[in-house]
């Protein structure tokens, strides 16, 4: 057991921490969330996967993605479950495992579109609050520290320059990517624009979030910086307890 982990355990069951990690696409949220979850013995919940699963259902139903009413009707007949695993979450859409179907460009773009609607967000936020109600989670997304868990013990806003995030994404596409890096950066900027400028819960750091800009960091350095943020919080006497 690491020193941090034993400190966490010594705080006892009354102190089940919530770590909120928000930030734009490609900032490294998933990798850092996975690492923190493992390090501190927490569950890792990827809320973007929930929006993606719903977007997949809307695409399959050939619904217009710019019209709230029909999406709301679809949401009323949809169940989405996240099962945290060692590496990533298993995503169940109406009981079907769609984990392998939600990372392509079409779903990525659709998820960013359906997530602008307040009714869809309200539904997702409720589901996410239920998932994290017991604490003991690292939850990553866009509005976790601002809306889903505004009282989370630790809030990290992970950012990096768009070109750097785009190139990191490009490198993840494998040895013979079908698209040039410029296109990956362009798509990412378009998504940033929608996520940051939507009227309902736009992507922005919570006032009490620690902003971690990984533009000039290696992944290892960013992980260490995130760990240091959590460790510093754990060492602070908790307020109101």
Tokens matching residue 3:
């020193």
- Closest distance to ligand DC from the beta carbon of 28 (Å): 11
- Closest distance to ligand DC from the beta carbon of 47 (Å): 4
Please report, as ranges, the residues that interact with ligand DC according to CB under 6 A: 25, 47-49, 51-52, 111-112, 115, 141-143, 191, 195
Sort strands 80-84 and 89-93 into parallel, antiparallel or unpaired. Answer: antiparallel
CA–CA distance, 151 with 181 (Å, rounded to integer): 38
- Closest distance to ligand DC from the beta carbon of 94 (Å): 19
Tokens matching residue 5:
């982990």
Q: What is the 3 state secondary structure string of 176-208?
A: CCCCCHHHHHHHHHHHHHHHHHCCCCCCCCCCC
- Closest distance to ligand DC from the beta carbon of 103 (Å): 8
Dihedral sign for Cα atoms in the order 222, 226, 229, 232: negative
- Closest distance to ligand DC from the beta carbon of 222 (Å): 17
Q: What are phi and psi of 194, to 5 degrees?
A: -65, -45
When the beta carbons of 8 and 107 are compared against ligand DC, the nearer one is: 107
When the beta carbons of 15 and 186 are compared against ligand DC, the nearer one is: 186
DSSP-H helix ranges across the chain: 3-10, 29-40, 47-60, 68-76, 105-114, 118-132, 162-171, 181-197, 219-235
When the beta carbons of 87 and 235 are compared against ligand DC, the nearer one is: 87
- Closest distance to ligand DC from the beta carbon of 95 (Å): 21
When the beta carbons of 152 and 234 are compared against ligand DC, the nearer one is: 152
Which residues in 218-235 are b (16+ Cβ under 10 Å) and which e?
eeeebbebbbebbbebbe
């Amino acid at each position: 057991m690491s020193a941090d982990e034993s400190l966490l355990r010594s705080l006892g069951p009354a102190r089940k921490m919530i770590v909120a990690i928000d930030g734009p696409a490609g900032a490294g949220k998933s990798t850092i969330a996975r690492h923190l979850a493992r390090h501190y013995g927490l569950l890792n919940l990827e809320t973007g996967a929930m929006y993606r699963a719903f977007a997949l259902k809307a695409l399959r139903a050939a619904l217009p993605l710019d019209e709230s009413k029909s999406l709301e009707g679809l949401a009323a007949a949809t169940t989405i479950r996240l099962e945290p695993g060692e590496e990533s979450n298993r995503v169940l859409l109406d009981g079907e495992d769609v984990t392998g179907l939600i990372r392509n460009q079409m779903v990525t773009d659709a998820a960013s579109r359906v997530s602008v609607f307040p009714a869809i967000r309200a539904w997702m936020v409720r589901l996410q609050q239920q998932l994290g109600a017991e604490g003991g989670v690292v939850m990553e997304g866009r509005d976790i520290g601002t809306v889903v868990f505004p009282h989370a013990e630790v809030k990290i806003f992970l950012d990096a320059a768009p070109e750097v995030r785009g190139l990191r994404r490009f490198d993840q596409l494998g040895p013979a990517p079908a698209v040039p890096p410029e296109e990956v950066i362009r798509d990412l900027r378009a998504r940033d624009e929608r996520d940051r400028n939507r009227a309902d819960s736009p992507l922005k750091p919570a006032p009490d979030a620690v902003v971690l800009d990984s533009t000039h960091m290696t992944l290892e350095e960013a992980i260490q910086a995130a760990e240091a943020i959590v460790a510093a919080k754990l060492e602070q006497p908790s307020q109101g307890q």
